Each structure stands twice: as C-alpha cells, then as structure tokens.
Structure 1
Amino acid sequence: MSILEVNHLKKIYTTRFSGNQVQALSNLSFSVEEGEYVAIMGESGSGKTTLLNILAALDKPTGGEVLLNGKNIVEINEKEISAFRRENLGFVFQDFNLLDNFSLKDNILLPLVLSGVRYPEMEKRLHPITKRLGIEELLEKYPYEVSGGQKQRTAVARALISRPQLVLADEPTGALDSKAADELLQLFNAVNQEGQTILMVTHSTKAASHAKRVLFIKDGEVFHQLYRGNMNNEELYAKISDTLTMLTTGGEQNE
C-alpha cells in the first residue's frame, strides 16, 4: 500500500529582482510504500531540497499533488498545516534543530506538548524510545552538553515520539563524524525494520546504501532508481556510485 504518492509535481520560482522563472521541479512522480526506506539523491540544484520542503508542507508546488495516506497535503489550509505536520510527519535535520534552552527531554516531548497530549501518555512514550536510542541517562542535559551523535539521537527520538506516518530526514549524517554516522544509520535500519517509513535526502553514498530503494533526481525529474533486492550495503554502494557517475556525465535516463 502506498503511504505517499507524488503526482506530476511542478515548482517554478520567480526570481525577486530579475523576474526570471526557474523550474525546480518538472512533472515529478513517484510513490513510497508503507514501511519502505527510500533515499533521494541528486546534484545540487536538482530539486531535492524543493521536493523535501513540499513533502514537509513547508512550501506549495506550482502544480501536481502530494497524497499522504490519500490526503492531498497541497490543499491543507494554513490554519491546519502545523497540526497536520505534527501529527503525521517526523523530521530529522542535518543541524539537529534542537532548542538550546530546553533539556533533551523537553526537546523530545515538544511535539506532544504542542499537540496537547497528557503528561502520563508522554512519559509512557518517552522511556522506551530514549532507552532504545541510548540517551535515557542524558534526558536532563542540554544540547550544548552532549555530542553531535547524541544530539541527532535526540532529534530521532523527537521525530518518532509522535508516531508519524512518515519520517523525513534531511542529510541526517551530514554533521556527524563517521562513528556517529554509522550508529545513526544502523538505528534507522532498526527503526525501519519495525515498520517505520523513512524518506531520506542525502548526498552521502554510504547513507543511501542503507536504504531499500534509491531515487535519483535530475533537472527536477526522476532520472533513475535502484532497488536493494538481495544486494548487501557494499553492492548497493557500488551501484549508487555507478549511477551518480552516469548522472553527472549525462548518461541516458533509465527509470
């Protein structure tokens, strides 16, 4: 069953000073099945960030639709969009986006506070997640007191605690050292195996090699896609590298 359907998505920006039009997305279509782990790759300027902003309901397309469990998020009005985001989407960002004046515990619980969830239910959800992520002993600390890897685990806990339909990850390993990045990718694999649907935008071939499917975006369209199938991470890594070479050297489109 498709949890996310992107149909004929277009986005045209008009530059502020010259009035020139720039097409960031052109007739982009794909779907994501419930429980999938999909990575999106492409060169800078390929439309990845624009796509992520539209999927996150932070921007609206010029044309097309985005269906999350059948609901067209493009048509949700401004009054309802924040609540929809909190209740249906989880976010993991490269720069963590934690509030420095909040403890890790308060950062994690913030989506539930904003949704009006009662405190006993918050506590019930908090401890299994933080124990699983290895940050249970750090909850009273503040973001500036912990490592980058611990900050990102906190961000993952915040993304998961609202039990979202879809987790959107934007370069989640970008600010981490190699050890912390490996730990985060293993964590994503484990969370996905438990049924969480993940869509990750990344420049990292290593990060993408952990996904079940890799979509390559070029000039605002799907250029190619790879399915893991029976490949291990090393084999998928090699396939991704070959596709990126084809993408940058102008190889033929192959969907």
Structure 2
Amino acid sequence: MSLLNVKHLQKIYSTRFSNQKVEALKDVSFDVEEGEYIAIMGESGSGKTTLLNILASLDKPTSGEVLLDGKDLTKISDKHISAFRRDNLGFVFQDFNLLDTFNVADNIYLPLVLSKEPYALMKPKLEKLAKPLGINHLLEKYPYEISGGQKQRVAVARALITHPKIILADEPTGALDSKSTDQLLSIFDQIHQSGQTILMVTHSSKAASYASRVLFIKDGQIFHQLYKGDMSNQEMYQAISDTLTMLLSGGQ
C-alpha cells in the first residue's frame, strides 16, 4: 500500500538579482510503500535537498502534488502546516538540531510538549525508546556533554516519539565517525525492520546500502532507481557505487 505519492513535482527558483530562473526539480514522480526504506542520492545541486524540503513541507513546489495517506501536503495552509508536520513526520538532521538549554529527556519530549500531550503519557513513550537506542543513561545530561553519535541517537528518539508516518533523514551520518555511523545505521535498520517508513537523503554509499531502494537524482530528475531485493549490504554497496560512477560519467 502506497503511503506517499509524489506526482509530477516541479520547483523553479527565481534568482534575486535577475530574471533568470533555475529549475531545481523537473517532473519528479515516485511512490513510497508503507514500511519502505528509501535512500535518495545525487551530486550537490542535483535537487535532492529541494525534494526533501518539499516532502518535509518546509517548501512548496511550483507544481505537482505530494500525497501522504491521500492528503496533499502542498495544499495545507500555513496556519496548520506545523501541526501536520509534527503529527505525521519525524526528522533526523546531520547537525542534530538539539537545544543545548534542554537536557536529553526534554529534547526528546519537545514534539509532545508542542502537541500539549500530558506528561503522564509522555514518560512511558520515552522509556520504551531510550533503552533500545542506548541512551537511557544519558537522559539527564545536556547535548554539549555527550558525543556526536549519542546526539544523533537522541535525535532519532525525538523523531520516533510521535510515532510518525515517515522518518525524513537528511545526511544523518554526515557528522559522525565510522563507529557512530555503524551504530546509527544498525539502529535505522532495526527501526525499518519494526515497520517504520524511512526516507533518507545521503551522499554515503554505505548508508544507502542499508536501504531497500535507492533513488538517484540528476539535474532535477530521477535518473535511476535500484532495488535491494536479496542483495547483501556489500552487494548493494557495489551496485550503488557502479550506478554513481555511471551517473558521474553522464551515462544513461
């Protein structure tokens, strides 16, 4: 069953000091099935960040539709978009986006606080997430007291605590060392196995090799897609590397 339907997305930017227009996305269409784990890859300037921002309802397309459970995100009013985003989407960013003035527990609680959820209902949700993510001993610490890998696990907990329909991850391993990257990718794999839908933008072939499908974007269009099927992570990594080589060489 399709959870997300992206239909004929186009995004055109006008430059500030001239009449020149830049077409960042050109007729992008794809579907995301419930429980799928998709990675989006492409060179800088390919349009993948623009696409993610539109899927996150942080930007609106020039034309096209983004349907989440049949509801068009592009038609939601500015008045209601923040609540819709908070109730349906979970975000994991490269730079963590944690508040240094809040301890770990309060950072994770933040989406629930904004939704005015009673504390008595919030605490069990945190306890359910903290141990599997290996952060139960960090809840009273502040972000500046913990490592990058720990910060990203806190960010994952914050994204999951609202039970979002989709996790949107923007270069989630980009600021991590190799050990923390391996830990985070293992966590994402476990989250995916539990049935969570994940859509991740990444430059990392290793990160993308964990996904069940990879979309490659070039010049604002979907250039190719790769299904993992029965491939191992190593086989998927090699297939991704081969596709990126073709992408960079201008092959079709």
TM-score by length of 1: 0.98
For 2:169, the equivalent position in structure 1 comes to: 169
Aligned-partner Cα distance in 2 for 1:250–1:118: 54
For 2:139, the equivalent position in structure 1 comes to: 139
Q: Deviations over 1:203-230 (max 9, x none)?
A: 0000000101000001111100000011
Residue identity matched to 2:71? K
For 1:231, the equivalent position in structure 2 comes to: 231
Q: Deviations over 1:166-199 (max 9, x none)?
A: 0000000000000000000000000000000000
Aligned-partner Cα distance in 1 for 2:158–2:194: 17
For 1:93, the equivalent position in structure 2 comes to: 93
Q: CA deviation at 1:44?
A: 0.6
DSSP-derived class of the 2:229 partner? coil
For 1:21, the equivalent position in structure 2 comes to: 21
In the TM superposition, 1:70-149 aligns within 5 A as 70-149=70-149
For 1:8, the equivalent position in structure 2 comes to: 8
Residue identity matched to 1:119? Y
Aligned-partner Cα distance in 1 for 2:195–2:117: 23
Q: Deviations over 1:8-53 (max 9, x none)?
A: 0000000001221000000000011000000000011110010010
User: Unpaired runs of 5+ in structure 2?
Assistant: none
DSSP-derived class of the 1:180 partner? helix
For 2:184, the equivalent position in structure 1 comes to: 184
Q: CA deviation at 1:124?
A: 1.3
For 2:38, the equivalent position in structure 1 comes to: 38
Q: Deviations over 1:85-132 (max 9, x none)?
A: 000000000000000100000000000000011111101101010111
Aligned-partner Cα distance in 2 for 1:189–1:180: 14
For 1:58, the equivalent position in structure 2 comes to: 58
Aligned-partner Cα distance in 1 for 2:12–2:52: 15
Q: Deviations over 1:37-84 (max 9, x none)?
A: 000000111100100100000000000000001100000000000000
Q: What percentage of aligned pairs have identical amino acids?
A: 69
Residue identity matched to 2:196? Q
Residue identity matched to 1:80? H
Residue identity matched to 2:128? P
Large movers: runs of 4+ above 6 Å: none
The reply on whether 1:199 has 2:199 as its aligned counterpart is: yes
DSSP-derived class of the 1:5 partner? strand
Aligned-partner Cα distance in 1 for 2:243–2:183: 26
User: Unpaired runs of 5+ in structure 1?
Assistant: none
